[in-house]
Amino acid sequence: NAGVTQTPKFQVLKTGQSMTLQCAQDMNHEYMSWYRQDPGMGLRLIHYSVGAGITDQGEVPNGYNVSRSTTEDFPLRLLSAAPSQTSVYFCASSYSGQRYNEQFFGPGTRLTVL
């Protein structure tokens, strides 16, 4: 199993550009999520999904869109990038949305917005 994969690893955008961060998992997990990591802030939840066709907002959803058309994929879209979105983005998945389930994390995408 590849686990959770994310592409690209690095990305530089200009303010106002759009892009999609890709996330895929091959563990047949129902629950998937996106976090952003900023220095001294820990990880904060952006959006999450408890199954195909079901998504919801986390703590910091503004400026981001998600969709979940398949169990395997959970892309994160930045519609109009802003410097405040410079961050490291992590995708994670777990077997289900039960509170006791471990989440498995991808390697991250480091995004810089100029």
Partner 1 sequence: AQSVTQLGSHVSVSEGALVLLRCNYSSSVPPYLFWYVQYPNQGLQLLLKYTSAATLVKGINGFEAEFKKSETSFHLTKPSAHMSDAAEYFCAVSGGSQGNLIFGKGTKLSVKP
What is the contact surface with partner 1 in residues (CB under 8 A)? 4, 31, 33, 35, 40-45, 48, 50, 56, 58, 90, 92, 94, 96-108
At which residue do the structure tokens 């989440």 appear?
A: 103
Compute the least distance from the CB of residue 57 to partner 1, in Å: 11
**Distance between CA atoms of 6 and 24, rounded to whole angstroms?**
7
Closer residue to partner 1 in complex, CB, 17/24: 24
Enumerate helices (H) and strands (E) in the chain, giving the number of each: 0, 11
Other CB atoms within 10 Å distance of the CB of residue 54: 12
**Distance between CA atoms of 70 and 74, rounded to whole angstroms?**
8
Closer residue to partner 1 in complex, CB, 54/79: 54
- Alpha helical stretches, state H, 1-114: none
Compute the least distance from the CB of residue 16 to partner 1, in Å: 28
Closer residue to partner 1 in complex, CB, 41/82: 41
Closer residue to partner 1 in complex, CB, 14/99: 99
Compute the least distance from the CB of residue 80 to partner 1, in Å: 26
